[in-house]
Chain A
Amino acid sequence: MAPKVVIIGNGISGITCARHLRKLSNYDITVISAESKYFFSRTALMYIYMGHMKEEHTRPYENHFWEQNRIGLLQKKVATVHPHENYILLESGEQIRYDYLVLATGSRSNKFGWPGQDLKGVQGLYNLQDLETMEQYTSGIKHAAVVGGGLIGIETVEMLLSRNIHVHFLVRENSFWNLVMPPDESEMINKLIYHHQVDLRLGTELKEIKSDKEGRATAILTSKGDTIDCSFVALTVGVSPNIDFVKNSGIHTDRGIIVDDYLQTNFKNIFAIGDCAQFKTPLPGRKPIEQVWYTGKIQGETAARNIVGLEKKYNPGHWFNSAKFFDLEYQTYGLVPAQKDESTDWFWWQDKKGEKGLRLVWEKNTKIFKGLNAMGIRLRHEVCNQWLNNNTTIDIVVKELSKANFDPEFFKGYEKEFQRSFEVKYQYITV
């Protein structure tokens, strides 16, 4: 009989693993997930709320795909894992035996013990249930607060604005996302936030959430002593691995489920992938827990290979990512530090209207290109990747810039202007 693989979690990592397992093997595959029967794109949650799409539009595969590919789906919650006996226990009481187990349980929203954090109308934004409660508690309201200046935070702001809700945005840092982004990029986003008439409060933390008699949030108290009336509070202060149910099972965990380079846990037949996995030894320049879409994809595929015995180490290549802040698109390739250190140099260019910006980063001594940030500009992944692979020097990157242009046809070019201002500053490099 074919070995039985049970995958817990039908997010991008679990589903990618299941699909590749199906391609590579004849194994019996079951995906168990509590949130929804069908895989949907978590990254599209905001668009459902904003009315760009319905939930069904966010499903990357039609419902018949799973049966066609003999991937079993079970919408159940897993209560405990029994790694020594090779079975899991569902909350509904059933036991399911497995030969291989894949843990792909994702994350959940952080809460840091604030008074009032469990009130009605206070929540994070991670799953479909969050979307439902957000729908319920924001209907007809005038004021909302968003606490935490990360990517999910700013998406939540945009969501609320789409319903004409005035948003108070508390950001601990003194400029938006400046732990990740250099000051200029961060400042571009601050401006956008103000432009959208958001009450952005930089350098401000949440102290407490107040409520009415029914236990519904009515106001927040900030670290600066201000009280802000609002009937909805989104806590978007990061996410952490969703692993409570494996904590006492014997599977090693820290913040996440500990895995080696093969995505294997301390049990040979148990793997962990995606947001819930934590690397014992992170790859150079990468974090121990990677909470992005594409790494979940690569991890899912890598685990599938290891399960069928095609040994494969996790190797995601160069870092890249993208996001959108209101109407401003952002892409990054390679490594761009938030602050310049001794060994690196960088150059920032912005167009006159302040709608586009491009930062190139290189190693000071060798002039080797290290990474870039593109704001309001689309760049070609393959070209940027080649520059990184080939240790291309910065003068060549500047010269070849237009090769990487991925803006739609007829968009105004920025390369000449960029090159001119770069040359003015760094003649020594280009000559």
Chain B
Amino acid sequence: MHPDINLSIASHSATSSLNIKMKTGLALVSLSLILLFLALFNQIQHPFLLIIFFISTVAGSLLYTNGLYANTTAGIKNNGVMFKSISSRGAIAWVLGVALTALYILLYWYPQLLGLHDKANTGLIGFFDPVSKLLNGHAASQWFVYGVLYTLAIILLGIKFIYKYRHNAYQVKRTISVMFFQLVIAFLIPEILGGLNMPYNDFKNMWPLNYYFFYDWHIDQLLGSGSFGMFVLVWGILSVVLISPVLTYFYGKRWYCSWVCGCGGLAETAGDSFRHLSSKKVSAWRIERVLIYSVLFFAVLMTALVIYQYFTKQSQVLFLDSFKVREWYGFYIGAAFSGVIGVGFYPILGSRVWCRFGCPMAAILGIQQRFFSRFRITTNGSQCISCGNCSTYCEMGIDVRWYAQRGQDIVRSSCVGCGVCSAVCPRGVLKLENGPIKTKKLEGPILYQDGEFKIVE
């Protein structure tokens, strides 16, 4: 439609051309990518170049962000989203998707190709050894490198997100929150714990998202780590049985999915340019329910087998072998689904594929959110003009408009409370709210007539 902007990466800019700041920013980020490539093929291994990598990544992305938004007014920035290659499943999107998928495949199954070795790391992983040694005293692992890149992505693209939504305090606050949880709770503390020879622990990553929590080696490790291990064990169990249900009751699943969680954090920041790609079809909703509850069932079954085996030392129950089941889970769900498809397919399927179709934690929180939570999205009377912005930009594929135009509140188990539907609505129709469960408007359509709001049969 617009050949001149079809190849643009600037997915939110009103301008079709890149300004000088953006160009410089992209050049710096490209330099970082080149350094990563050279490292991958073992051409460079030098702490100095690593420093250059960090500086050019941070400076490049900040410069790009600034160039993108500095001359814009505060407000919704979706101009051209449907035209640009990267955000409309164009060539750039496919290239990116393939690259990300390849990265995940290497990470999970061929880390040696990234340079992971027993003796001395080489390649990409070796390149990051100095940071790892600084933080925890050990050489880097593929997961360390992944953690560094992941955290960088959340922080830098989080800053971009904050700039983009600077008019919206809800968006700003929750993004600062996910940036904090990723940097401090998911990255720094576990690395430092590792350095102190304590069990690696991400305090916010709870069962069943953290599916190995009840694995024998993990329990044994915790039990063998004195009072700290005990604390982690008790905290992990309390999170599941007390903290999470209470917070979800008051605020809905958003307290976790779009304020705390690392998968959510990446989806909201790095995945923001792809949120509109989620399918809003009823058929997708059907697939979602089948898949997510199957994964939940799988996770619960596996954990039950693992715990049974822990206490009885019996790994075989009927035809199921506890070790096999957990191996399957790790491969199909832990790696293939959450990693390869979940993130690798961002540019094609949208940013919350894992959260929507796979995450067992989201499934549990979702059931609670639907039935035992004060959270809902309120529809503002009869102001909806059915434009479709809300549904389009709902990363969870919820057809928000369906409810809004009927005057009903949106009470859906999958809603992660990102608040973007409310932000993009041009008529001020949607508000994320907590309130008494019985005030949720589930019946509809509610029509404004005779000066009153009536449920119309």
Contact = CB atoms under 8 A, between A and B. Distances in A.
Interface of A: 12, 20, 23, 41, 43-44, 47, 50-54, 57-60, 62, 135, 139-140, 161-164, 195-196, 293-294, 297-298, 301, 315-318, 320, 322-324, 326-327, 329, 331, 378-382, 385, 388-389, 406-412
Interface of B: 1-2, 4, 14-16, 73-76, 78-84, 167-170, 172-173, 281-282, 378, 380-383, 385-389, 391-392, 401-402, 405, 419, 422-424, 426-428, 431-433, 447-453, 456-457
Contacts of A317: 448-452
Contact of B423 (A62, A297, A408): A408
B74 A44 contact: no
A161 B73 CA distance: 13
Contacts of B426: 324, 329
Contacts of B451: 315, 317-318, 385, 388-389
8 contacts: A52-B81, A60-B388, A294-B383, A298-B449, A317-B450, A320-B382, A385-B452, A407-B431
Contacts of A140: 4
Given A53-B389, A294-B382, A316-B449, A327 B405 contact: no
Q: Which 3 A-B pairs rank lowest in CB-CB distance, beginning with the nearest?
A: A381-B381, A327-B75, A378-B428
B158 to A, nearest CB: 17
A51 B83 contact: yes
Nearest to A192: B73
B147 to A, nearest CB: 30
A409 B83 contact: no
Contact of A41 (B16, B83, B388): B388
A315 B450 CA distance: 5
B386 A60 contact: yes
Given A47-B387, A62-B281, 9 more contacts: A43-B385, A44-B386, A57-B391, A59-B388, A196-B73, A301-B456, A382-B381, A385-B451, A389-B452
A423 to B, nearest CB: 27
Nearest to B84: A51
B73 A139 contact: no
B79 A50 contact: yes
Nearest to B172: A410
Nearest to A15: B386
Nearest to B74: A327
B170 A57 contact: no
Contacts of B75: 326-327
Contact of B282 (A62, A408, A411): A62
Given A57-B391, A164-B15, A410-B169, A41 B78 contact: no
Contact of B14 (A60, A162, A327, A331): A162
Contact of A161 (B14, B282, B452): B14
A389 to B, nearest CB: 6
A41 B82 contact: no
Given A41-B385, A318-B451, A60 B401 contact: yes
A406 B428 contact: yes
Nearest to B16: A164
Interface centre among A297, A315, A324 (most CB of B within 10 A): A297
A318 B201 CA distance: 58
A44 B432 contact: no
B428 A52 contact: no
A406 B74 contact: no
Contacts of A23: 457
Nearest to B383: A322
B428 A44 contact: no
A52 B389 contact: yes
A184 B405 CA distance: 31
Nearest to B380: A381
B170 A409 contact: yes
Contact of A294 (B82, B391, B402, B448): B448
A162 B79 contact: yes
Interface centre among B386, B391, B432 (most CB of A within 10 A): B386
Contact of A162 (B80, B387, B447): B80
